[in-house]
Each structure stands twice: as structure tokens, then as C-alpha cells.
Amino acid sequence: MFRGIRTAAKYFAIGVTLGLFFSPRTGEENRKELLKWARATVGEVMGKEADMVRDLADRVGEQSPTLSRAVNAVGDKLDEVAADLQ
């Protein structure tokens, strides 16, 4: 299983490298676009994680209100990080 993942990651890295090498944009423009894409992707993932944490807080809240508040605080922090990245 990990062998396939390593192979895929290797070819992905080769493709990205070749794509950046032959890109019609300057290096600075490529870095800006790559950073913009990375921030949006991480922000999107963090937003999804915050939703998952909130769902967990709802389930945990039935058992322990204190733990639910702590999990909700983690969700709030993830939302803040996602907002800062976007």
C-alpha cells in the first residue's frame, strides 16, 4: 500500500517540478500562486476539520458538558486559523 503512495507522490513531485520549470510565468508569480493555492487548501481543510470537531462536541456533550466545551473551543480555534489563512 505504501509503495503505491510513494510512487504516486514521486510522480506528483516530478510533475510539479516540470510544470514549474516550463511555466510561462516568472518564479515570483509561481511562488505567489503556489502560496495562494496552499493557503486556500489548508483553510478549506481546517474548516472541514472544525466542522468535524463540532460534530464530535455534539456527541460528547451528551456525556460530558465540560469536555464538550473544550472540544468546541478547539473547533473555534480551527475556524480562526482557517479564516486567517484565507
What's the number of domains the chain is made of?
Answer: 1
Domain span at residue 56? 2-85
Q: What's the pLDDT at 59?
A: 75
Q: What's the pLDDT at 52?
A: 80
> What is the DSSP annotation of 21-72?
HT-SS-HHHHHHHHHHHHHHHHHHHHHHHHHHHHHHHHHHHTT-HHHHHHHH
Report yes or no: 51 and 40 within 8 Å, Cβ to Cβ. Answer: no
Q: What's the pLDDT at 81?
A: 75
Using one digit for the tens of pLDDT, what is the confidence trace for 39-81?
888 878 877 777 787 777 777 766 777 777 777 777 777 777 7
CA dihedral sign, ordered 12, 17, 21, 24? positive
Alpha-carbon distance 54 to 40, whole Å? Answer: 21
Q: What's the pLDDT at 86?
A: 60
The mean predicted confidence, pLDDT, of the chain is: 79
Q: What's the pLDDT at 43?
A: 77
